[in-house]
Amino acid sequence: MNIIEIKDLVKIYDDKKTVPVTAVNGVNINFKPGEFAAIVGPSGSGKTTLLNLLGGLDEPTSGEILIDGKQMGNLNSRQKIDFRMHNIGFVFQAYNLIPVLTAKENVEFIMHLQGQSKKARDKRSQELLEAVGLGDRMNARPGKLSGGQQQRVAVARALASKPKFILADEPTANLDSKSTETLLDIMEKLNIEENITFIFSTHDARVVNKARRVITIEDGVVVEDKER
Amino acid sequence: MKYYFKMAWRNIWRNKRRTLITTASIFFAVFFAILMRSIQLGSYGNMVDNVVQAYTGYIQIFDDKYKGDESIENSIKLGPNMLSEIEKDENVTLALPRLESFALASSGNQTKGVMVVGTDPERDDQLTGLSSKIVQGDFLRKGDQGVLVSERLASYLKTSVGDSVILFSQGYHGVSAADLFVVKGILKFPSPDLDNKMIIMDLPLCQEFYSAPNMISSISLDLKEEKKMNQTVKNLQEKLGDQYDVRSWKKILTQLVQQIEGDNAGGLIMLFLLYMIVGFGVFGTVQMMTAERRKEFGVMVAVGMQKQRLGGILALEMIMIGFLGALSGAVLSLPIVYELYIHPITLSGETAETIMSFGMEPIMPTAWEASYFFSQAGVVMIIVSLAVFFPILSVTRLKVSKALRA
């Protein structure tokens, strides 16, 4: 049973002012639960666009995305936001933590939106921050954390709602080698322990080496899909 | 909800300087608006009190034909229970009957047209503080046969206390009226117009002079609460019937009302300009707050926050800033307004003389009304809500993928 099915997905950017750009051109991919997959390709190949489409952050020009058998295209804007909150975790290149919230509050943010109890939030956020090695930095605001630490908080935040899969857009692009290694180890461990699918878009060879499936995309087309 | 309050509170202090500047602009707007407006309204109140308490009273009752022809022929017959019936109205504290007409006053070789007023001295003193205007001689008592003459008139006629003046006039139904009166006291009216022409005597003496027994020109009323004046006018008009014309001071002193309305409009325009400036200031702040956090908004929506809720947090942030500014402005203006209410600014020099020549006290008191503080703060909150509307609208139309690239 696939957790994600992408069928003939096309995304053309056409703002009527410039020449239309086909960012994703007839992509067909499926993902199973618990995968640790990397989407690789040169800049402008369509990796981020594909991830945005998968996350429901952008609308495809044509094609279908089914998540757990449910068609994303049939959801309205509010339903999509709700769907993301319950099913998808996001890790961004620039961490994008909410600066006025502490590490713990950032992790609890989605649980708040879900209406979880304080007790449940406390337990889960503590567990996740300890899992990413930040049990002692729970009350620090993002400004007081290093880039690597912020990205680990972002991973904890992405996992907080127990999503079906996590989309990570170049998560190691701003990190040094040591932080990258730590982060990848943490993500791999969580992937195995919580059986959550991780899908990365990346340039980073270290991420590619860790991935158990590598999908190469060029000019919006999947040119290689290799499992290890 | 508490969580979103906490977020909004922390957000507004992300850029302390900007928040303080915006709060300060709202503070100064509310502070000056309250001060400016309370001085303006206080001055109007003072003008009205001066004029109303100088002569007119808050309400006057006339014969219904008096308005078109203010002659003694259109006077009212004062029934034995009329005043007590009027005073039964719960808002009426005093009813003062007067008979007014014109006469030619003569003393020695001097002659001048004057206004003769027959009044109840005790009641008039209660309404207008007439006895306090005495500068020479004594005030009238019931049954007195003497008269009070205004200072400028007395000076023109070259009379003083103890002298006599002769009055010639036409009485009720064309009867000729002529008599000699002893000057009992000299009055000083602040208004030059009144000070040039007034002769005041006891009401029965005046009625006898004009051969108009029990007749009066008007009844002036003092009220418990001015706010209920219109209702009192309505009640009395219904009670007395169509043969009487019950008018509030606003219908009698139309020039004063127009002057106040004109000045008030100017004040409101100033307030409008003040609030427009603040409104654009707040609008600019919200725009900046929205623009610089576009990516953050994108992330929040991406992870599952509904755009409307996000707009709500943004509104909450501006309401907090608006509330801080409005509250501090209102609270800090409070002691100043109160101090000026208790101890009004006293004007001096030519300005004071000009004001006094209109029969008014040369002071600038403030109005002391709780509702005023709330309304000013309320106006600011409405402006904040308007300024916040478009940025919130833009948040609810946020394109997440674009915002994430911001």
Write down the mean pLDDT value for chain B.
90
Place B277 in a pLDDT band, splitting at 50, 70 and 90: confident
3-state secondary structure of B395: helix
Under DSSP, the state recorded for B366 is: P
Domain presence at residue B197: yes
- Do B277 and B396 reside in the same domain of the chain? yes
Q: Are B214 and B207 in contact (CB under 8 A)?
A: yes
Chain A CB within 8 Å of residue B80 CB: no
Write down the mean pLDDT value for chain A.
92
- Do B293 and B182 reside in the same domain of the chain? no
Where is average pLDDT lowest: A151-165, A174-188, B358-372? Answer: B358-372
Domain presence at residue B246: no
User: What's residue B209's pLDDT?
Assistant: 96
Chain A CB within 8 Å of residue B78 CB: no
User: What's residue B55's pLDDT?
Assistant: 82
Q: Which residues of chain A does B303 touch, with a Cβ-Cβ cutoff of 8 Å?
A: 84-85, 89-90, 109-110, 113, 157-158
Q: Which residues of chain B does A156 touch, with a Cβ-Cβ cutoff of 8 Å?
A: none
**Pick from B241, B269, B298: which residue ends a domain?**
B241
Q: Are B46 and B348 in contact (CB under 8 A)?
A: no
State pTM to two decimals.
0.75
- pLDDT(B90) > 90: yes
Place B47 in a pLDDT band, splitting at 50, 70 and 90: confident
Of B299, B305, B307, the CB nearest to A92: B299
Chain B CB within 8 Å of residue A161 CB: yes
In chain B, the number of structural domains is 2
Instruction: Give Cβ neighbours of residue A181 (< 8 Å, ≥ 6 apart).
Output: A206
- Do B75 and B217 reside in the same domain of the chain? yes
Under DSSP, the state recorded for B132 is: G
Q: Do B404 and A92 touch (CB under 8 A)?
A: yes
- pLDDT(B374) > 90: no
Domain presence at residue B58: no
Choose among B141, B123, B125: nearest CA to B133. Answer: B125
Q: Please state, as a whole number, how many other Cβ atoms lie within 10 Å of the Cβ of residue B273.
A: 10
- Do B340 and B388 reside in the same domain of the chain? yes
Under DSSP, the state recorded for A3 is: S
Counting residues of chain B whose pLDDT is more than 90, the rounded percentage is: 55
- Do B113 and B221 reside in the same domain of the chain? yes
Q: Are B402 and B295 in contact (CB under 8 A)?
A: no
**Pick from B241, B265, B298: which residue ends a domain?**
B241
3-state secondary structure of A174: coil
Q: Which residues of chain B does A89 touch, with a Cβ-Cβ cutoff of 8 Å?
A: 303
Smallest Cα distance from A100 to chain B, Å: 6
- Do B138 and B6 reside in the same domain of the chain? no
3-state secondary structure of B102: strand
Half-sphere exposure of B151 (CA within 13 A, CB side): 11
- Do B160 and B116 reside in the same domain of the chain? yes
Owning domain of residue B317 = 2-52+256-404
Q: Are B18 and B325 in contact (CB under 8 A)?
A: no
Q: Do A58 and B401 touch (CB under 8 A)?
A: yes
- pLDDT(B361) > 90: no
Chain A CB within 8 Å of residue B398 CB: no
User: Taking CA atoms, what residue in A is nearest to B12?
Assistant: A100
- pLDDT(B189) > 90: no
Q: What is the pLDDT of residues B289-339, one digit of tens each?
A: 888 889 999 999 999 999 999 999 988 998 999 999 999 999 999 999 999
Phi, psi of A166 (to 5 degrees): -120, 130
Counting residues of chain A whose pLDDT is more than 70, the rounded percentage is: 100
User: Taking CA atoms, what residue in B is nearest to A80?
Assistant: B304
- pLDDT(B190) > 80: no
Smallest Cα distance from B223 to chain A, Å: 59
Of A82, A112, A161, the CB nearest to B3: A112
Counting residues of chain A whose pLDDT is more than 90, the rounded percentage is: 73
Q: What whole-number distance in Å separates Cα of residue B185 and Cα of residue B125? A: 14
Q: What whole-number distance in Å separates Cα of residue B296 and Cα of residue B262? A: 51
**C-alpha distances in angstroms, A103 versus A13, A88, A130, B298, B310?**
36, 20, 11, 19, 20
Choose which CATH entry (1.25.40.10, 1.20.1290.10, 3.40.50.300, 2.70.50.60) describes domain A32-60+70-227.
Answer: 3.40.50.300
Under DSSP, the state recorded for B344 is: P
User: Taking CA atoms, what residue in B is nearest to A94?
Assistant: B404
Q: Is A39 exposed, middle or buried (0-12, 13-18, 19+ CB in 10 A)?
A: buried
User: What's residue B168's pLDDT?
Assistant: 95
In this predicted model, which residue has the larger pLDDT, B67 or A72?
Answer: A72
- Do B222 and B265 reside in the same domain of the chain? no
Chain B CB within 8 Å of residue A58 CB: yes
Within chain A, where are the H helices? Answer: 47-54, 77-87, 103-114, 118-131, 147-160, 177-194, 205-210
Of A89, A113, A158, the CB nearest to B305: A113
Q: Do B303 and A86 touch (CB under 8 A)?
A: no
- Do B316 and B371 reside in the same domain of the chain? yes
Q: Please state, as a whole number, how many other Cβ atoms lie within 10 Å of the Cβ of residue A212.
A: 15
User: Taking CA atoms, what residue in B is nearest to A81?
Assistant: B304
Q: Which residues of chain A does B7 touch, with a Cβ-Cβ cutoff of 8 Å?
A: 98, 100-101
Edge-to-edge strands of the sheet including A4-13?
A: A21-31, A4-13, A62-67, A70-71
Counting residues of chain B whose pLDDT is more than 70, the rounded percentage is: 99
- pLDDT(A157) > 90: yes
Q: Is B287 exposed, middle or buried (0-12, 13-18, 19+ CB in 10 A)?
A: middle
Half-sphere exposure of A197 (CA within 13 A, CB side): 20
Q: Are B318 and B8 in contact (CB under 8 A)?
A: no
Domain presence at residue B251: no
Domain presence at residue B381: yes
User: What's residue B154's pLDDT?
Assistant: 96
Q: Do A101 and B7 touch (CB under 8 A)?
A: yes
Q: Which residues of chain A does B14 touch, with a Cβ-Cβ cutoff of 8 Å?
A: 99-100
Q: Are B256 and B51 in contact (CB under 8 A)?
A: yes
Q: What whole-number distance in Å separates Cα of residue B332 and Cα of residue B365? A: 18
Instruction: Give Cβ neighbours of residue A42 (< 8 Å, ≥ 6 apart).
Output: A218
The pLDDT of B181-196, averaged and rounded, is 88
**C-alpha distances in angstroms, A107 versus A98, A127, A155?**
10, 10, 9
The pLDDT of B241-245, averaged and rounded, is 91
- Complex-level ipTM: 0.90
Tokens of B256: 């004063």
Of B296, B303, B307, the CB nearest to A110: B303
Q: Please state, as a whole number, how many other Cβ atoms lie within 10 Å of the Cβ of residue A223.
A: 11
Q: Which residues of chain B does A115 touch, with a Cβ-Cβ cutoff of 8 Å?
A: none
Half-sphere exposure of A73 (CA within 13 A, CB side): 13
Mutation pick from B301, B402, B404 vs chain A, by most beta carbons of A within 10 Å, is B404
Chain A CB within 8 Å of residue B1 CB: no
User: Taking CA atoms, what residue in B is nearest to A161?
Assistant: B303
Phi-psi region of B143 (alpha: psi -120 to 50; beta: other; left: phi over 0): left
- Do B43 and B75 reside in the same domain of the chain? no
User: What's residue A33's pLDDT?
Assistant: 93
Q: What is the pLDDT of residues A115-131, one digit of tens each?
A: 999 999 999 999 999 98
Q: Please state, as a whole number, how many other Cβ atoms lie within 10 Å of the Cβ of residue B229.
A: 17
Q: What is the pLDDT of residues A36-93, one digit of tens each?
A: 999 999 999 999 999 999 999 999 999 999 998 889 888 998 999 999 999 999 999 8
- pLDDT(B355) > 80: no
User: What's residue B255's pLDDT?
Assistant: 82
Q: Is B360 exposed, middle or buried (0-12, 13-18, 19+ CB in 10 A)?
A: buried
Mutation pick from A43, A50, A98 vs chain B, by most beta carbons of B within 10 Å, is A98
Q: What whole-number distance in Å separates Cα of residue B224 and Cα of residue A92? A: 72
Mutation pick from A11, A76, A81 vs chain B, by most beta carbons of B within 10 Å, is A81
Choose among B342, B360, B341: nearest CA to B352. Answer: B360
Chain A CB within 8 Å of residue B269 CB: no
Q: What whole-number distance in Å separates Cα of residue B159 and Cα of residue B179? A: 16
Of A52, A84, A99, the CB nearest to B303: A84
Q: Do A85 and B400 touch (CB under 8 A)?
A: no
Calculate helix-pair angle for B254-292, B370-396, nearest 10 degrees.
40
Domain presence at residue B200: yes
Choose among B70, B149, B75, B64: nearest CA to B106. Answer: B149
Mutation pick from A96, A161, A201 vs chain B, by most beta carbons of B within 10 Å, is A96
The pLDDT of A190-201, averaged and rounded, is 91
- Do B237 and B371 reside in the same domain of the chain? no
Q: Do A90 and B302 touch (CB under 8 A)?
A: yes
Q: What is the pLDDT of residues A9-45, one digit of tens each?
A: 999 998 777 888 999 999 999 999 999 999 999 999 9
Place B391 in a pLDDT band, splitting at 50, 70 and 90: confident
Which string of DSSP letters, residue by residue, matches B202-265? EHHHHHHHTT-TTEESEEEEEES-GGGHHHHHHHHHHHH-TTEEEEEHHHH-HHHHHHHHHHHH
Burial annotation B193-215 (CB, 10 A radius, 16+ → b, else e): ebbbbbbbbbbbbbbbbbbbebb
- Do B295 and B273 reside in the same domain of the chain? yes
